[in-house]
Amino acid sequence: MPKYVYDFAEGNRDMKDLLGGKGANLAEMTNLGLPVPAGFTITTEACTVYLDTGEVPNELHDEVSEHLAAMEQAMGKRLGDPEDPLLVSVRSGAKFSMPGMMETVLNVGLNDESVQGLTTISGSERFAWDSYRRLIQMFGKTVLGIDGTRFDEALDRAKKEKGSEDDLDLDAADLRELVAAYKRIVSDDAGRDFPTEPREQLDLAVNAVFSSWNADRAILYRRQERIPGDLGTAVSVVSMVFGNLGGDSGTGVAFTRDPASGEQGIYGDYLQNAQGEDVVAGIRNTLPLAEMEGSQPDAYAELLRIMEKLERHYRDLCDIEFTVEKNKLWMLQTRVGKRTPAAAFRIALQLVDEGLIDLDEALNRVTGAQLAQLMFPQFDVKAGKDQIGRGMSASPGAAVGKAVFDSATAVEWAAAGEDVILVRRETNPDDLDGMIAARGILTSRGGKTSHAAVVARGMGKTCVCGADSLDVDVKRKTFRTKDGTRYAEGDVISIDGSTGAVYAGEVPVVPSAVVEYFEGSLDPDSERADDVVRGVHRLLAHADEIRRLRVRANSDTGEDSQRARRFGAEGIGLCRTEHMFLGERRRHVQRLILADDDAETDAALQALLPFQRDDFVRILSAMDGLPVTIRLLDPPLHEFLPDLTDLSIRVAVAEEKDEPHDEDLELLGAVRRLHEQNPMLGLRGVRLGLVVPGLFRLQTRAIAEATAQLLADGKHPIPEIMIPLVGAVQELEIVREQTEHVLAEVGRERDVELSALIGTMIELPRAALTAGQIAESADFFSFGTNDLTQTVWGFSRDDVEASFFSQYLELGIFGVSPFETLDVDGVGELVRVGVERGRAARPDLKIGVCGEHGGDPESVHFFHEAGLDYVSCSPFRVPVARLEAGRAALASGGSDSR
C-alpha cells in the first residue's frame, strides 16, 4: 500500500520526485540538525490521484491525522486549540521550482475562538487579528476562488479610513472590523461562510494546493520552462512561526552568493515585523540582509553560519527562506538557487577553484541556453543616456521597448511586433503572460527575491526591481519620476538589468563581451576580461576536450564561414547554394528556365559558372583544412521567378495600356508551367537535378574548379557534395555517377587529382526507412531535420507556425514547437532507424545533422545518444552546440575517444 505522508525526519534531498523540492529540502535541513519547524509532507503521488479522480486517496485522511497528532505532540499544542492554538502553513512544492505559480495558505487553524488564544499567548491582540485577516484573505482567494481584488479593496478602505497608506498603522480594532468585512466577502462571493473548523480548513487548503498544479499560470510556466505536466505537486504542512510579532521578529530571503552576478558576499532581503509573503510579493520595499545584524545580531550570526553550512553541503548557491520569531531563527526552506547566466558561469568556476566541485560538475552546472543569453547585446557605455530612475539589478541584460502597464497589453502589443517593457508596482503570478511577452520587466517595489526578480531570472529576462523613485499608476497607465516628469503607455524606455538603471528613450546596444571573446577581439587572460568571460573560456575548453560530437556551421558566404571558424566550428555542415542564385544572378537562372534549346541552356549555365566558382573559393578558403559540405540546388525553380499573381497583374496592365511586355509574357508562361500546388513536395532537390539538364553538373564543375584553384595555391580544401531530397537509391546513383564524371573531367583539365565525399540529405521518411540501400551509394548522411519534421508531421512550416501552432502549444499537444526542439518520439525515431540501417550497410558511414536543431541544446543531447558524428548550426549557435556536446558526453558517461 502506498505511503502518502512523510514526516520531515523521514525524507531527504534525493526524494524530490515524491516530496517535491520544498519537502525534500525541509527533510534534508531537519536531518542536518538545523532549526526547522515541525511538519510533514503529502506526496506528489497523492496529488496525481486527486488530479486524476477528483478525490484524495482513501488512506490520506488517516495518514494526515497520524502525522498531525505527532506534530501536535512535538509542539505541545493542538491545531486550532482555543487556548494555545497550533497553526500551520500549507505550501506547494513541486520537483522543479515554480516560484509563485502555485498556492500557499498561512495561519490555518485560526477561527473566532483560537484568535483569542493567540492573543493571550502572543501578548499582542493586533498580531492575532492581523494573522486571522491574512488567513481569510488567502483562503478566500486560494481555496474558495474569490477575486483577490475584493480583499485588497477592503484593506484599502480600512487604511483610507485610518488616514494611512501603511497596513502597519491599523490597530487591533481596525483589523477586527476588517476580519468581519472579509467574512462578508466570503459569504457573498463564495455562497458559504468561512469555515471555522480547523481540520476542514486544513483539508480544503491541501486540495486547493493540489488543484493549483493545473492553474493557468502554472501550466503556462511549465510550458515556458519545459516542465512535464504529469508530475504533480507535493504539499508541505509546517508549524507556523511568526515574523510579525514585533520589532524582535522578522522574515527574509537569503542567497549564499549574489544570484544576479555570482559575486561572493551576503545577499538577500529582510523585513522586520512581517510574514514571508510580504517579502516575496514585493508589497513592501525590503532592507538589505546585512541590516538584520543591527536588530537581531544573534539570529543574524546564526543565519550566516547556517548559510555557509548549507552551501558547503549542497556545493552550490543556496536560496534560503527564514523567519525570526522573538529573536529565535527558524529555517523555512532552502533550495539550489536560480541564477542569471552570468552568475551560473562565475559560480561554477568559483566552486571549482574552491575545491568543492570538479570541471565535469561545473560543466553540468551551466547550459547552452545560458551561454546563448550571455551572447545578447548590452547597452553602449559610451552612448548618452537620460537616467530617470534606479532600482535593483534583478536579472541582467539590456532591454528597450514601449512602456505598458498590464499583462494583456504586453501580450497584445508584442504579438503585433512591438518591443515592450512591462511596468508594474509589483508583479504577481497572474502577470506571467505579460512577463513572457515583454523584453524586460520594471517594478517600483520589491527586491531581488520578489516574484518579478525570481521569475525573470528563471526565464533569462531582463528585470529591474524596487525602482522606488518611480511612482507607478497602473490604472492611469503612467509613471512619474522624482522630478515630476510623466511617462505614459507607449513611451520608449530602456532598462539595464545589470546595473538597475532606468533610462528615457532608446539606448544603443553593443555586442556582449562574450561575443567579443568569440570574435577574437578580447583575450580571456587580459585585464579587460571579467570572470564570466574567463568562465566561458575554461568551460568551453573542457567541453571541447571531452565531447564526441563534432560541431560544424551552416554558412553560405566566406564572411559567415570565417566567423563560424572563429566561433569554434570544425567545418561547414551545410552550404546552401540556392542563396548564391539570388540578387543580380537571378536573371541568369531565369534565362536557364526560359531556354528553348541546348545552346541557350549551356549559355545560361556558363554565365552562372564563374559566380558559383568564386563563391566556393571564398568558402573553401575560409575553411581551409576543414570539411565543407555543399548542398546542390534544393528549392523549386519557381522561387527564382516572379510571383504568379504579381506577374499576371503586370502583364494585364501592360496589355491594357498597349505597352511592350514580350519578356513578361514569356516569364508568365514559364511561371504558369512551373506552378505547383505544393512546391515543397514537387520538383525540387535531386528531382530538379535529374529533370533540368546540366544544373547539377554546373554546380559540381564550379566546386571542382574552385578546389583545383585552391590546391594550386597551396591550400587544403575539403569539399563534400550533398544531394538533397533523395528518396530512392536510384536517384543518388545517377547523380553520383554524373558528379564523379565531372570531378574526373576537371581533374584531367587541371592536371590534378580531385576527390570529394558524395552523400545525401536524409529528409524524407522513405530515405530514413531505406537508409541501408542508400548507404551503399553514399559516403555520408546528413539529416535535414527541418524538412524531415515537415514530412513526418505533414506540416508546411511556413503555414502552420502562423496558423495553429499557438493553439497546439496552449492545448499541450506540443510542449515546444517541433521545429525548435526535435520531436524525439516521431522524427527522432526515424533518425535512429536511419543511423542503424545506414551503418549496418556501411559501418564507416559519416552521419551528421544540418537542420537548425543542430544548435538546440536538448536536441544536441539526442544526436549524441543516436550516434551522430557531428551537428551543424548557424555560426552564432556554434558555441552553444560545443558546450552542450560536452554536457551530452558527461550525461552518457562517455567522452571523445580521439
Quick: pLDDT tens for 195-214: 999 999 999 999 999 999 99
What is the structure's pLDDT at 432?
82
What is the structure's pLDDT at 604?
80
pLDDT (mean) for 363-370: 94
Answer yes or no: is pLDDT of 272 > 70: yes
Residue 636 — pLDDT band, cuts 50, 70, 90? confident
What distance in Å separates the CA atoms of residue 131 and residue 78, rounded to the nearest whole number?
17
What is the structure's pLDDT at 571?
97
Residue 897 — pLDDT band, cuts 50, 70, 90? very low
Three cell numbers, residue 722:
550533398
pLDDT (mean) for 841-869: 95
User: Average pLDDT, whole number, for the chain?
Assistant: 90
What is the structure's pLDDT at 813?
83
Residue 338 — pLDDT band, cuts 50, 70, 90? confident
569 vs 896: which has the higher pLDDT:
569
Answer yes or no: is pLDDT of 798 > 60: yes
Answer yes or no: is pLDDT of 594 > 80: no
Q: Which amino acid is at 438?
A: A
Residue 545 — pLDDT band, cuts 50, 70, 90? very high
pLDDT (mean) for 323-339: 93
What share of the chain has pLDDT > 90, as a percent? Answer: 67
pLDDT tens for each residue of 749-778: 999 999 999 999 999 999 999 999 999 999
Residue 898 — pLDDT band, cuts 50, 70, 90? very low
Residue 850 annotated as catalytic: yes
User: How does DSSP classify residue 460?
Assistant: T
Rg (Cα) of the chain, in Å, rounded? 33
pLDDT (mean) for 872-882: 92
What is the structure's pLDDT at 562?
94
pLDDT tens for each residue of 482-519: 999 999 999 999 999 888 899 999 999 887 899 899 99
Contact (Cβ atoms closer than 8 angstroms) between residue 89 and residue 79 = no
What distance in Å separates the CA atoms of residue 560 and residue 615, rounded to the nearest whole number?
12
**Spatial CA neighbour of 762 closest among 832, 677, 844:** 832
Residue 542 annotated as catalytic: no
Answer yes or no: is pLDDT of 333 > 90: yes
What is the structure's pLDDT at 98?
87
What is the structure's pLDDT at 100?
78
Catalytic residue (one of 67, 451, 542, 864): 451
Answer yes or no: is pLDDT of 1 > 70: yes
34 vs 227: which has the higher pLDDT:
34
3-class secondary structure, 143: coil
Catalytic residue (one of 850, 853, 861, 864): 850
Answer yes or no: is pLDDT of 896 > 60: no
| Cα separation values, 29 from 14, 97, 337, 535, 800, Å | 12, 17, 16, 31, 50
pLDDT tens for each residue of 11-24: 999 999 999 999 99
Answer yes or no: is pLDDT of 550 > 50: yes
**Spatial CA neighbour of 627 closest among 782, 785, 856, 844:** 782
Answer yes or no: is pLDDT of 56 > 70: yes
Kind of pairing between the strands at 870-873 and 550-554: parallel
